[in-house]
Structure 1
Amino acid sequence: MQALQLDGINEPLRLQDVPTPTPGPGEVLVQLHAAALNHRDVWIQKGQYAGLRFPCILGSDGAGVVTALGEGADEALRGQAVVINPGHSWGDNPNAQAKSFTILGLPNQGAFAEYVSVPAQYVRPLPAHLSFEQAAALPLGGVTAYRAAFTRAGLQAGERVLITGIGGGVALLALQMAVASGAEVWVTSGSAEKITRAQQLGAMGGANYKDEKWASELVKQAGGGFDVIIDSAAGPGFEALLDAAAPGGRIVFYGGTLGPIAQVPPAKVFWKQLSILGSTMGTEQDFAAMVRLFEQHQLVPVVDQVFALADGEAAMRRMEQGQQFGKIVLKIKD
């Protein structure tokens, strides 16, 4: 088969002929029609990720058709269009992943290829209203957003939620699910255009996080503080989230693109009775609930741009630049 292979740190992704995987016991072979990029792929390419091993095939997000079965896999899966859950071996504790937890695309070979073999328990029927490209945009970002918003922060209908850094895949998926669930959603971005596009997806409004007093101005604009704040940046700006939170609010973050949280004045946390929560990926139950929510409300993930598999390196550079609005997708099969 053909696959985009990464041979070392800071090496470009190269389309190469590699052996087609053979499904082992309990596994299925998926002929991929589409895959999607995540920042994780860029971090691995730059050597900024634990457990590096080369050569490797990146890609945590994929959708396609089951073409072969390993011993013991359900025959009913043969020929079924599926979307792949990239989080494997979460473990028995729903509150946190086990040490055995892995994500598709490292250490196991990922979805930037014509075929991938995965345990059968990690494929789910492709939502009927989605194309393969749209479905490929869903898995990692969708389960991350769902767990952060609903499992960890306990977002309820009617609550006011702030989603920072709108435009990235997880943030947009969180926006779509929160709006569909009846929350009042506000956003931040460094781009006025991205805020406008978020409003077209149901956001009430937003603020430019580059403005010095964005938090107080947005609270004023929204008519009060935020019950839930979903963040991926952390870093020096985290204190502004404490100011934006309503009393009893929950701040959940699933990333730290701006680095360590430098200042957390204790009084701003304890006097407002705030909860600060960490979240990453999700359980099989989180993934199933996320897919059901998309099916129930006929939600369609936002796709920024579709590249051919052979142009995967160009897709990676677009991801690295951070200018996208939605998911960057590789089209593998027509």
Structure 2
Amino acid sequence: MKAIQLDAVHQPVVLRDVPTPVPGPGEILIKLHAAALNHRDVWIQQGQYAGIELPCTLGADGAGEVAAWGPGVPAGAPDVGSRVIIYPGLRWGPAQRAQAKDFVVRGMPDPGTFAEYTVAAAEYVRPLPAHLSAAQGAALPLAGLTAYRAAFSRAQAQLGERVLVTGIGGGVAIVAAQLCVARGCEVWGTSGSDEKLARLPALGLRGGINYNAANWVKDLVKQAGGSFDVIIDSAAGAAFEALLDAAAPGGRIVFYGGTLGNIPQIPPGKVFWKQLSILGSSMGSAQDFEDLLALVEEKQIVPVVDEIFPLAEAEAALRRMEAGHQFGKIVLQIT
């Protein structure tokens, strides 16, 4: 089969022939129709990810159809020929509160989804929501799982609450906003691009503001009619203190990334006097994935796809992600 592999950091990925995997006990062989990129794939290529083991087939997200069962697949697993989506992690563990020490994301060191076929334990394979195409389905797992856990399992966003999602444009931020809108929250966003901000109303957001503007917090709070019960962030860094000002008393700030680096300081008075909760979140459990898919099915949520590249053009897709111009998920069309 054809697969996209990375042989060394700071090198382009290559398309090559590799052996088609054979499903082992309890495993399902999946013929992939689409796979989606994540910033993780770029960070691995740049050597900015812990525990890199190369060569590897990249990719955590995939959607396709069941090609074969291995021995001992339990009854009730998706049948051969059925459309499926794959949980993007491995070995979360039994606790819902946090992942186990041996939890990893699919696609390094274990072979990922940038390939014509992949195998996954039956427990990680779920029916693809019927209203989604393969490309839309591939855009959902890692971004959707991260967003769902941050917004609901961790921050406990509720119907009618005012929610701010920062950095709208990336896949996780967009789907976090979509999920919160679907749950009946009043959602606002920030971006460094006015062009991206102009697209927010079409997703059901009330509005947004450019975070490069002076006094953006004060202006946004005035525009929204009040401060925010929940703030979902992926940047951290020096800009994090502004989120303390944007948060309502008793608010929850959850962050799932740190693209701007470490937070230099947090004035304690702003946290304890406003009774704020600051929460970390990463990926999500199998239960989070089940709950995500149920919400997507119920509300007919469609992930935003930015651009679709052929599998052979994975390197160009990675460079688009690195440039940060995308609005939504970048997808590889496989078969």
Is the TM value for this pair above 0.5? Answer: yes
8 Å CA contact retained: 2:54, 2:109: no
SS in 1 for 2:99: coil
Q: Give the TM-score normalised by the residue count of structure 2.
A: 0.98
Q: Please name the residue that 2:153 is paired with.
A: 151
Q: CA deviation at 1:199?
A: 1.6
Aligned mates of 1:102, 1:8 — CA distance in 2:
20
Q: CA deviation at 1:71?
A: 1.3
CA-based RMSD of the aligned residues comes to: 0.8
Length, aligned pairs only: 333
SS in 1 for 2:3: strand
Q: CA deviation at 1:99?
A: 0.6
Q: CA deviation at 1:158?
A: 0.1
Select 1:97's aligned residue among 87, 94, 99: 99
Q: Please name the residue that 1:187 is paired with.
A: 189
**CA offset digits 1:80-136 (Å, max 9, x no partner):** 210000122111111110012111101210000000111110010011000000000
Q: Please name the residue that 1:34 is paired with.
A: 34
Matched, 1:234 2:236: yes
1:243 maps to a residue whose letter is: D
Aligned mates of 2:205, 2:31 — CA distance in 1:
37
SS in 2 for 1:50: coil
Identify unmatched segments of 5+ residues in structure 2: none
Aligned mates of 1:111, 1:288 — CA distance in 2:
20
SS in 2 for 1:300: coil
SS in 1 for 2:199: helix
Q: Please name the residue that 2:24 is paired with.
A: 24
SS in 2 for 1:4: strand
Q: CA deviation at 1:270?
A: 0.3
Aligned mates of 2:277, 2:38 — CA distance in 1:
28
SS in 1 for 2:160: coil
Q: Please name the residue that 1:87 is paired with.
A: 89
Aligned mates of 1:217, 1:267 — CA distance in 2:
23
SS in 1 for 2:208: strand
Matched, 1:284 2:248: no
Aligned mates of 2:215, 2:23 — CA distance in 1:
55
SS in 2 for 1:77: coil
Aligned mates of 1:138, 1:206 — CA distance in 2:
23
Q: CA deviation at 1:77?
A: 2.6
Matched, 1:252 2:254: yes
1:41 maps to a residue whose letter is: D
Q: Please name the residue that 1:56 is paired with.
A: 56
SS in 2 for 1:90: coil
Q: Give the TM-score normalised by the residue count of structure 1.
A: 0.98
Q: Please name the residue that 1:293 is paired with.
A: 295
Mapping of residues 1-334 of structure 1, within 5 Å: 1-74=1-74, 77-333=79-335
**CA offset digits 1:4-52 (Å, max 9, x no partner):** 1100001111110011111111111100000000000000001111111
Aligned mates of 2:304, 2:232 — CA distance in 1:
18
Q: CA deviation at 1:283?
A: 0.6
Structure 1 residues 51, 77: CA separation in 2 closer, same or farther (over 3 Å shift)? farther
Aligned mates of 1:220, 1:66 — CA distance in 2:
51
Aligned mates of 1:182, 1:204 — CA distance in 2:
12
Aligned mates of 2:212, 2:265 — CA distance in 1:
18
2:11 maps to a residue whose letter is: E
Aligned mates of 1:135, 1:286 — CA distance in 2:
16
The percent identity for this pair of structures is: 65
8 Å CA contact retained: 2:35, 2:334: yes
**CA offset digits 1:265-298 (Å, max 9, x no partner):** 0000000000000000001010011011111011
Identify unmatched segments of 5+ residues in structure 1: none
Q: CA deviation at 1:303?
A: 0.2
Which stretch of structure 1 is more off in the superposition, 189-198 or 266-275?
Answer: 189-198
8 Å CA contact retained: 2:115, 2:334: yes
Aligned mates of 1:104, 1:87 — CA distance in 2:
5
